[in-house]
Amino acid sequence: MGAKMVDFNGWDMPVEYPSSIGCGVVAEHLAVRTGVGIFDVSHMGDIRLAGREALAAVQHISMNDASRLAIGQAQYSALLYAQGTFVDDVIVHRLGDDEYLLVINAGTREKDFNWVRDNTEQFDCKVRNLSDDFTQIAIQGPRGVDELEKLTDADLGAVKFYWVTHGTVCGLSNILIARTGYTAEDGFEIYIPSDEPTSARVWYEILAAGKEFGAVPCGLGARNTLRLEGKLPLYGHEISDTINVWQAGLDRFCKMEKPDFIGRSALEKAKAEGVKSTLVGLEMVDRGIARDQYRVLDDQGREIGYVTSGSPAPFLKKNIALAYLRPEYAAIGSTVKVEIRGQGVRAQVVPTPFYKRPKKAA
C-alpha cells in the first residue's frame, strides 16, 4: 500500500500510510478519534495457558486478580520480576473454565514466553506460544462497532469494553473478537488465522467495509500518538525491567490482597520505602516538542527526571510528554523545563490521561 516501513523488533512494520490515500500520522490519528482506523498488529504475541491449574498459574505470574474474570472477560495486567519491575504488560483474557490467553508485546515475545513457561512449570497447565498462529487486526474508533457489525454475525452490542466473544468474521468461523485496544478509544481486536492469503483477504475486506465510516489503515506512528494521549504505557519507555509498578502509577491494576504473585514482596517493601521517581504528564508551555530521553530540569537547571515518550498530540493539538520526575516536582501545576537541544523549554505537570474518550449517551 506504499506505506513507509520500519524494522520494529525484527518486524517489518508500517509507520504510516501515504498521504496520497488520505493517510499520514495525523490523519490516521484523527480517523481513530472521530471515525475508525484499522491496524495490522500481527506482531503482538499470544500465550495460551490451559489446564486444571491455569488460574493458579496466571495468578502466580501476573499482578492483577484473574480470579475476578468471568468467562469472556479480559483485564489489563503485567508480568513482574521478583524485584517488582516489568517483564511486560499484558491483557489477560479468560476464554474458558480453565483457559486463559495472554496478549503480549512484539519486542518481548520470546522473553515473555520463556519467562511464562519457566515460572509456571509447577502448575498442572499447558503453556503454548500461539504468536505465529494468529494475525491480530485492530479496528479502533467510535465507528469501529458499526464497521465490524457489517462483517460478523456476533452480537457486538452485547460485548462490553474488555470483554470478548466468538463469531464468524469475513466468512471465517469461530473468530475471537475482543473489545480491547491500545488507542484510548472504543474498538475491537480480532484474531484470525495467520496464513498470508487469509490475513491479506480479511485486511482488505475490513478496509473496504470501513469506507463509508471514513476508515483508513493506520501505522505504528498513529498507534504511538494515540496511546500517548491516553497515557497507555509502552514497554521500554514508561515500563521496563528497572521501573516498578508504583513508579509507573499502575497501582489500580496491582492487587496486593490476592494470593502471592511474583514481585509482590518486593513491591511491599518498595511501597514502604516510597518512590524515588514517578510518572507524570507534561504539557509544553513554551514552543518546543519534548522527545524520548530528553532531560527534565528544575528552574535552576538541575536534572530532576527524563522524558519517556513525547510528541505532538494530533487530536489535542498540544505538545505532550510522559516523564519520570522526582516526586517533589510531580504535583499537578508544577512548572519544569525540558532540555531541547541545550535549551530549557518550559512545561507544566498536567492531569493524565491527556485524553479521555467521551462517554456515550445512554
Partner 1 sequence: MSYPTDRKYTKEHEWITADGTIGITNHAQDSLGDIVFVELPKAGAELTQGKPFGTVESVKAVSDLYAPVSGTVTAVNDALATAPEQVNKDAHGAWMIKIKVKDPAEVNALLSAADYEKFASEEAGS
DSSP H helical ranges for the chain: 25-34, 54-61, 109-119, 144-149, 196-209, 220-229, 245-248, 264-273
Q: How far is the CB of 219 from partner 1 (least distance, A)?
A: 10
Nearer to partner 1 (CB atom), residue 64 or residue 224: 224
Residue with cell string 465507528: 143
Cα(78)–Cα(244) distance, rounded to whole angstroms?
11
Mask for 178-217, x = binds partner 1 (CB under 8 A): ----------------------------------------
Cβ neighbors of 304 (< 8 A, separation 6 or more) are 296, 297, 298, 325, 326, 329, 336
Judge contact between 65 and 249, C-beta under 8 A: no
Q: How far is the CB of 180 from partner 1 (least distance, A)?
A: 24
- Interaction of residue 25 with partner 1, rule CB under 8 A: yes
Q: Of the two residues 45 and 310, which places its CB atom closer to partner 1 in the complex?
A: 310
Interaction of residue 305 with partner 1, rule CB under 8 A: no
Please identify, among the stretches 15-23, 102-110, 155-163, 265-273, the one whose residues bind partner 1 according to the rule CB under 8 A: 15-23
The Cα–Cα gap between 176 and 148 comes to 13
Q: Is 275 helix (H, G, I), strand (E, B) or coil?
A: coil
Task: Note whether 172 binds partner 1 by CB under 8 A.
Answer: no
Binding test (CB under 8 A) with partner 1, winner from 68, 269, 276, 291: 291
Q: How far is the CB of 292 from partner 1 (least distance, A)?
A: 10
Distance, CA of 172 to CA of 193 (rounded, Å): 9
Under the binding rule (CB under 8 A), the answer on residue 289 touching partner 1 is: yes
Three cell numbers, residue 239: 515500563
Of 120 and 225, which has the nearer Cβ to partner 1? Answer: 225
Nearest to partner 1 of 291, 356 (CB atom): 291
* Cα distances (Å, whole numbers) of residue 148 to 178, 198, 204, 209: 12, 17, 13, 8
Of 26, 50, 207, 266, the residue at the interface with partner 1 (CB under 8 A) is: 26
Min separation Cβ 4 and partner 1, Å: 7
- What the block records as the C-alpha cell of 151 is 462483517
Q: Could you give the CA distance from residue 67 to residue 278 in angstroms, rounded to a whole number?
A: 29
Interface residues for partner 1 in 259-288 (CB under 8 A)? 287-288
Task: Give the Cα separation of 254 and 169 in Å (integer).
Answer: 34
Which single residue is written with the C-alpha cell 518546543?
288
Q: State which of residues 9, 19, 242, 335 lies at the interface with partner 1 (CB under 8 A).
A: 19
Residues in the interface with partner 1 (CB under 8 A) total 18
**Residues 212-241 interacting with partner 1 (rule: CB under 8 A):** 221, 224-225
Residue 291 beta carbon to partner 1: minimum distance, rounded to whole angstroms: 6
Distance of closest approach, residue 335 Cβ to partner 1, in angstroms: 21
Q: Which is nearer to partner 1, 146 or 292 (CB)?
A: 292
On the 0-12 / 13-18 / 19+ scale of CB atoms within 10 A, 53 is middle
Whose Cβ is closer to partner 1: residue 43's or residue 94's?
43
- SS3 state of residue 113: helix
- If you ran DSSP here, which 8-state letter would residue 226 be given? H
State how far the Cα of 153 lies from the Cα of 192, in Å rounded to an integer: 15
Of 311-340, binders to partner 1 (CB under 8 A) are 311-312, 314
- CB 62 within 8 Å of CB 254: no
- Grid cell of 279 as nine digits: 510518572
Min dist. Cβ of residue 87 to partner 1 (A): 27
Minimum CB separation from partner 1 for residue 32, in Å? 14
Whole-number minimum distance, CB 234 to partner 1, in Å? Answer: 14
Q: Which DSSP letter does residue 21 get?
A: G
- What are the residues binding partner 1 (CB under 8 A)? 4, 15-16, 19, 24-26, 221, 224-225, 287-289, 291, 311-312, 314, 341
